[in-house]
Structures are given as C-alpha cells and as structure tokens.
Amino acid sequence: MRKIQILLIMLIAMLMPYSASAMLNMELTRGVAGAIPINVVPFPGADMSPQNVSTIVTNDLQNSGRFKLTSGSVDNTVVGKVTALGGDRYEVSFKLLDTLQGMSNAKTLLSKKFTVSSRELRGVSHHISDLVYQHITGTRGIFSTKIAYVVVQRSGDRARYLLEVSDQDGYNPRPLLNSPEPIMSPSWSPNGKQIAYVSFENKLSRIYVQNVITGSRTLVSSYPGINGAPAWSPDGRKLAVVLSKGGSPNIYILDLSSRSLKQVTNDFYINTEPAFAPNMRSILFTSNRSGGPQIYQANLGNGSISRLSFD
C-alpha cells in the first residue's frame, strides 16, 4: 500500500501551479547545437492585419531550436506579403529563397500563396513555418499541431484543475474539463481527435477518453486503486494503462472496443509510464525493480522483460 501512496504523491507533484488568466507561455531554454541561420524579412502589410504573419513565422522557427534568426547574410531567407482583399479576406504569399550568393542572385526554393480570413491568419502562419521547416530540415514541422496540458488555479486552500488544449505556441487555449479534483496525464490519440487522461473526480483515480471536437467523454477504466498513465497504441484501438487492482501498480493493455484487459507486468514493483513501440510488438515502461527507476521493455509476444537503461 505504501508504494501505491508514493506513486500517487509523485504523480500529483507533477501538477504545477499556473494562472489561467494568461496565455500559456512557452520558453525555449536550449536549442540544437549548430542551429541553422535564417532570415525572416517582415512581410509588407503584415502589421496591418489582425495577426502579424511574419512575426508568428519568426517565433515558430526561433522556438523550434533548430534555427537561429538573423538579419545578416545567410543561406536561407523567407520573404512574403499580406494583402487585404476586403470582406475579411487576406492574400498571404511567401517565398523561401536561397540567398547564399546574395539577395540579388537569390533562387526561389519554395513559393506558395493562400487566401484566408482574419481568423485563419494564425493557422496559415503556422503552415508556412511547417513548409519552411520541412524543406530545410527534411522533417515535418509541428507548428500546426495542438498541445494538451493541465492548469491549476489556486485560491487560498482551494484549487481548481482545468484540462486545456491550445495551439503549440500557447495561443487559443480552450478548456475541455473544469474540476475541483486533480487531472493528469493527458495523452493524444494518434488521429488527434481524442485525449485520454486521469481524473480524480469523487476522490478516485479514473481514466476517461474525451472527444476534442464535441467534448463528449467516456469512462474507460475505474478499477479499485490506481488507474493511471494512459498511452495510446499507434492504431488508436488500445490504451496501455497502469492499474493497481491486484495490489501493486502493473502495466495492462486495455482494448477500447471490448474493454478487455491484457496484463503485461505481474509483480510487486512500481511499474508505470508505459509507451507502445511503433510496431506494437512491445511496451516500454519505467520500473523500480532494480532498486531505482529504470526503463524496461516488455515483449508482448513471449512476455519477456529486458532492461534498457543503466544510469
């Protein structure tokens, strides 16, 4: 029982106080060594629109840690223009230029044009950042994606917990759940349409799956003891979860259609934070079975468990 209490204390400690009255602030503290120099020239007309497209693109690339924004001579330069068309419509055009030989000899690497409403300006800005990022690095950008997080509002001895979804840069926050009890471990489904999370409503840990668009939710795990750390399978049909219904926290696989369970670990250690391997043939998890927290891998075919980390 003491191990279960310690695990719950560790999980609750992860909830950091935060003021919900302000936009989520994302601060880059460490970039990638050898960040790529790039210049984003302010787009003419951008400062006259509701959202400054070139500023958003600049912030996206800067916050990725992969780029170093500069106004000097660089290999890659982003230029563009925002034109008001009337009727709340805007034309946004941009080019990614190879300026290794200078602006006068620049070569166009990428060129796109979009017509959007004022409400879509921020979205198209993130899309431009994604296109630039992928063209230069060869990896898809994440600037058009969303993040899920838990906000804690404190007033004296009372607290309220909000599960929110926002753009990846913290803008456009939208609450999915408001509760006087802790919420933790939000996990996106592979298709981005659902979030699994743990809620302590009625003083019990339970796992819910909530539709991000409609707000509807389903209780999927309410066993006695811990119901925690949900992680989606790559096909979106299952959740790896932590349950202590047998005494100690162990890893299980929950089939979301049939609600059937498959036990992955079966011992008296603390096993938590499961994650499916991309091929779904194994699950990685954290366990204290070696005396301290280490990462292990469970083969779902033969049930064997191997240790991966030794720090």
Sign for the CA dihedral angle at 170, 171, 175, 178 comes to positive
3-state secondary structure of 226: coil
Q: Are 198 and 206 in contact (CB under 8 A)?
A: yes
Report the distance separating Cα 47 and Cα 172, nearest Å: 20
Beta-strand pair 36-40/76-86: parallel
pLDDT at residue number 101: 85
Q: Are 186 and 197 in contact (CB under 8 A)?
A: yes
Rounded (10°) CA dihedral 247, 297, 230, 155: 80
Q: Are 171 and 23 in contact (CB under 8 A)?
A: yes
Q: Which two tokens stand for residue 260?
A: 């059937």
Report the distance separating Cα 270 and Cα 290, nearest Å: 11
Q: How many CA atoms lie within 13 A of 287 on its CB side?
A: 26
One digit per residue, pLDDT tens: the chain, 311 residues? Answer: 334 333 443 343 333 343 434 456 656 555 566 799 999 999 999 888 889 999 999 999 999 999 999 988 899 999 999 999 999 999 999 999 999 888 889 999 999 999 999 999 999 999 999 999 999 999 999 999 999 999 999 999 999 999 999 999 999 999 999 999 999 999 999 999 999 999 999 899 999 999 999 999 999 999 999 999 999 999 999 999 999 998 999 999 999 999 999 999 999 999 999 999 999 999 999 999 999 999 999 999 999 999 999 98
pTM: 0.81
122: closest CA among 205, 72, 54, 184? 54
Report the distance separating Cα 211 and Cα 158, nearest Å: 28
pLDDT at residue number 266: 95
Q: Which two tokens stand for residue 185?
A: 């471990």
Return the number of other C-beta atoms located less than 10 Å from residue 76's C-beta: 21
Residue with tokens 């981005």: 192
CA distance to 54, 166, 243, per residue, from 190 (Å):
30, 17, 22
